[in-house]
Amino acid sequence: MSDNRILDIISSPADLKLLSNEELSILASEIRQEIVSVTSKTGGHVASSLGAVEIILALHSLLDCPKDKIVFDVGHQAYAHKLVTGRLKDFPTLRTYGGMSGFPKPSESPYDVHYSGHASDSLSVALGLAEARDLSGADNKVVALIGDAALSGGMAFEALNNIGQAQTPMVIILNDNEMSISHNVGALMKHLGYMRASSQYRQARDTMQEHLESSGPVGKALTSFGRNMKESMKQFVIPHSMIFEQLGIVCTAPVDGHNIAQLRETLRAVLAANGPVLMHVVTRKGEGYMPAVRNPEKFHGIGPYNIATGEAIKSDKPSAPKYTNVFGSALVKEAETNQDIVAITAAMKGGTGLDAFAEKFPKRFVDTGISEEHAVGFAGGLAAGGKKPVVALYSTFMQRAIDQMIINVALPKLDVVFAIDRAGIVGADGPTHHGVFDLVYARMVPNMRVLAPSNEAELVHGLHTALAMGGPFAIRYPRGEAEGVPLPEVPEVLPEGKARMVREGDDVALLAFGRMVGYACKAAEVLEQQGISVRVVDMRWVKPLDADAIREAAGTKLVVTVEEGVIAGGAGEGVLGEMARMGLHTPALNLGISDAFVTQGSVGQLLHEQGLDAEGIATSVKDRYQQLN
């Protein structure tokens, strides 16, 4: 920590009101240095937070938080917000077990309004807060900060329509940085690009400024302009750029998002408006740290890195390939022999391992932007047209498209493969990102087959099986390094609904799903040393379950299911249902994620907390076994 930093004397946002624009600019630089210093050790969402520093400082210097409300979309840009709301001393614990969350978290601070983490929900939440304010007769300000990519999400458009109808005072800050996680795509992005580039718009900005300056108070003039000039003047002054005003929301001309003076001047105006205003702010992801500026996608979410070079710090131990990369390579090989395969993702090309596919088969790759519902509905249309779409999404984002999975894919029995990445515990991103619900929502859907590969070889076989069998099919696999087993030269079609015996045993049967198979094997070794003979079965299939394997397991003294997902409604409860159907009365124990949201931390720490590492599984099994004997 350097000496005489402004940052060190900021205990709350109220302190920012005492600073000049120049001092706020100095503070912005100090905050960026702090963000880079800490995240180089903890990892984090670096590029987004660096790009939003001035916006956050300008807001907090003019608002009276927490009375006034700032609603962050996704929340990955909120590090500066945390630093000026009394959390500087805890910032080094960012994203660590028991430490500070990487996202806004109301239980962490009264300045955090809602649990953000998924895109496109901020406008709905902000409008709800504004309406609650109006109903209560209060006068606090409500501001939503949303990125241009998140604005393309369907939920955001639904909210914009409602905001235009409600006409309640609130401010939407559009953080326009031309990036989401992957580069933004779609018509709205082109529209925003037109707004940035249009000479007519720049001329209109000057005309608007003259109009405002000659019409009394800025806020009153701004809203008067938006409400009274109507279509003829709007289309004459700013042609092709009035999408927001068509919805009844006044839109400012683009503002430099790294110029404190401009930001504060414009914010004063829009905060005084008596209706909804969208403030268009242009920023640069990674601002102030060149490695992040040059590669914002890499620095969207990164582990520990070298500050000087921006290169990730890698472990010295030999590493297995990542599940995501194994999937991506396997899909490319499948597509080489099957011209009907189309890969789809929602703004997650790199994150889902589809870079190589997109490069080799550009016409058969589709990035729909932040639009999971559309991505799955679109896949249903492709399948109805005779193609074989593979939808690659993170588990936590796939849950946003459950309705489309059910109605647009499963009901008509269409040939769509769901590649559900980041299934199970994901680590430092915490409760909004853990993929612990997919086993429930996938297995509940009629016509759906569900596979949970236990290693990278099984993943390759599983993808081949899904493409060969057809129909709605989900494969779920975890984040990070795989098990280090050899990959098959030629993938096989796995027999439907058939498990794989991994270890023989007579006292206890461990029926494990996905990567829990490896932990179950280690637990079996521990229990064997304590005189308990343990069978381990790789169940492979979550749906259909292997009834024969379950019946054989019931021949032991205790049946234990182990899954990296919530117990309620999960695969283990499916096994209990099968046992009841077959009239089997062997004592059983379900191990999985407890009925509570999982915090952030390393995968190892969180699995230990949930009792799903080898030690936890062995302890639970031993305790239950001893109760029976």
Give me the active site residues, please: 285, 372, 400
Helix (H) or strand (E) holding 591: strand 588-593
CA 301 → CA 96, 115, 305, 369, 378, distances in Å? 15, 18, 11, 18, 28
Is 196 exposed, middle or buried (CB count within 10 Å of its CB: 0-12, 13-18, 19+)? Answer: middle
Question: In this structure, what is the dihedral angle of CA atoms 372, 399, 405, 371, given to the nearest 10 degrees?
Answer: -10
Report the distance separating Cα 146 and Cα 123, nearest Å.
8
| Length reported for the chain | 629
Distance CA 140, CA 573 (A): 48
Residues 6+ apart with CB under 8 A from 269: 212, 218, 219, 222, 252
579: which 2 tokens? 């046992």
What is the C-alpha to C-alpha distance for residues 570 and 593, in angstroms, rounded to an integer?
A: 10
3-class SS shares of the chain: helix, strand, coil, % to 5: 45, 15, 40
By C-alpha distance, which of 60, 244, 225, 240 is closest to 148? 244
State CA 253 to chain mean position distance.
30
> What is the three-class DSSP state of 578?
helix
DSSP for 472-519, written as a single string:
SEEEE--SSB---PPPPSS--PPPTT--EEEE--SSEEEEE-TTHHHH
Listed residue (515, 473, 524) closest to 497, CA to CA:
473
Other CB atoms within 10 Å distance of the CB of residue 77: 28
